[in-house]
Structure 1
Amino acid sequence: MHCNIDIALLMHNKEILKPTNTGRLIADCFPEQCHAFEWSRTEPCQDIIHLLQDPNRQCFILFPGELVPDREVYHNPQQDQLADLCQHKTPTVILLDGTWKQARKMLYQSEWLQTPPILSISPEHSATYALRKAPKEHQLSTAEAGVMVLNAFGEAKQARLLHQYFELFNHHYRAIRRTMAPEMNIIHQQMAAIDE
């Protein structure tokens, strides 16, 4: 499915091969609009540097605004405000893909991430990711953050697709952890929701 924003996954090296990583669900849903890069503090991938410097993009970093008071922050912007900010440029949201501790380190220790403004969106719901627990209930998984970003930019259909795919992943992985087969009726319901 196509979406009108690009998402850049900046992945901590400890996150890349974790089977519980949800950033890859975004790449599965939107392979043309999702870019993935491995984070390095001192030797960033040149492709993400080019992406950040692309004059045809308006880049944002999704991060809680209250944790970065010295940065340009857009708190819960409306869709029309985001459109004005982008001014016919491709909206590109960087998701820091790692634990919350890793994400803070990635942001604070990377000089090359200090320029893009911060997109700060308050979650409407608590995290539902059952496989890994964040320190606080409103700290979302990467896929849940992706859903939130898509909704903020008015990509409601794309947000529903990613949410359903995330729920399917969650159900399937929970069953495997309990060494049980996933409940097929739930799988079929979620697959039907994805196909709508």
Structure 2
Amino acid sequence: MKVILLTHEREVSRLTNTGLVALERFPDWCARVIWSRVEPDDEIVDLLSSKRAAVLFPKPVLSKETGDSMVQAPMEELNLYLNEIPEIIIILDAIWQEARKMIRQSPYLATANKYALTQGGDSQFNLRRNQIPGGLCTLECIIQLCHSAKMSEEALELEAAYIALNQR
């Protein structure tokens, strides 16, 4: 598994950026690219258009009564979700409001294959406010991906670092 953090420019200087933990500990399989609305990264665009990578993003949830999507995403996007973890996963490294904006303002992200984590639960990250229900921080996502990819040692190391960071 390779993880690419597509990082919003505001996230780079935030002391609460959890993606940095994975970048520092596992630079052999975790990398960072700064997102730009006007100048998309050519490698990211190529990876997504060739279907060798997918964007980690929650799957829309449908209301049984109305059939309406409870997450802001059109129904046709459900077809973009993969059932298997891709070899290369791109994580939008940003607060949720910025991550949604990144998807909306970047057609190559909106139309890319997606992968959604299957484990539920709310974030335990307490260093930021305004968390959305079920929305995990970047490091929580990477830890779950490591477990899914049978990278247990890496997951345990990241979990320990996450606990220490979250207790600051």
- TM category (shorter chain) comes to 0.7 to 0.9
Q: After TM superposition, give the deviation of residue 50 of structure 1 in Å.
A: 4.3
**Superposition deviation, residue 97 in structure 1:** 0.7
In 2, distance between residues paired with 1:137 and 1:167? 20
Question: In the aligned structure 1, how far is the partner of 2:119 from the partner of 2:88?
Answer: 19
Match of 1:149 among 142, 145, 155: 145
CA–CA distance in 2 between the matches of 1:70 and 1:134? Answer: 29
- Aligned partner of 1:73 among 68, 76, 81: 81
Q: Secondary structure at the match of 1:61?
A: strand
Q: Is the 8 A contact 2:48 2:113 kept in 1?
A: no
- CA separation in 2, counterparts of 1:62 and 1:99? 14
Alignment of 1:114-125 (within 5 A): 114-125=110-121
Larger Rg: 1
Is 1:11–2:7 an aligned residue pair? Answer: yes
Structure 2 counterpart SS, 1:48:
helix
CA distance in 1, matches of 2:137, 2:129: 9
- For structure 2, which runs of at least 5 residues remain unmatched after alignment? 61-70
Indicate the SS of the match to 2:32. strand
Contact 1:134-1:140 within 8 A present in 2 as well:
no
Question: TM-score, length-normalised on structure 2?
Answer: 0.81
Partner of 2:3: helix, strand, or coil? strand
Q: Work out the number of aligned pairs and report it.
A: 154
What TM-score do the two structures reach when normalised by structure 1?
0.70
Deviations 1:39-96 (A, max 9, x none): 111211234334445x6x721111111043322113xx4xxx44xxx5xxxx111110
Question: 1:37 & 1:99 partners in 2: Cα distance?
Answer: 16
CA RMSD of aligned residues (A): 2.0
Q: Distance in 2 between matches of 1:108 and 1:138?
A: 20
Which has a greater percent of helix? 1
Matched, 1:131 2:127: yes
Q: 1:39 to 1:132 in 2, by over 3 A?
A: same
Structure 2 counterparts to residues 1-196 of structure 1, below 5 A:
5-52=1-48, 58-66=52-60, 67=71, 68=73, 69-71=75-77, 72-74=80-82, 77=83, 81-82=84-85, 91-171=87-167, 174=168
Q: Contact 2:57/2:116 (CA < 8 Å) preserved in 1?
A: yes
Instruction: Give the gaps of 5 or more residues in structure 1.
Output: 175-196
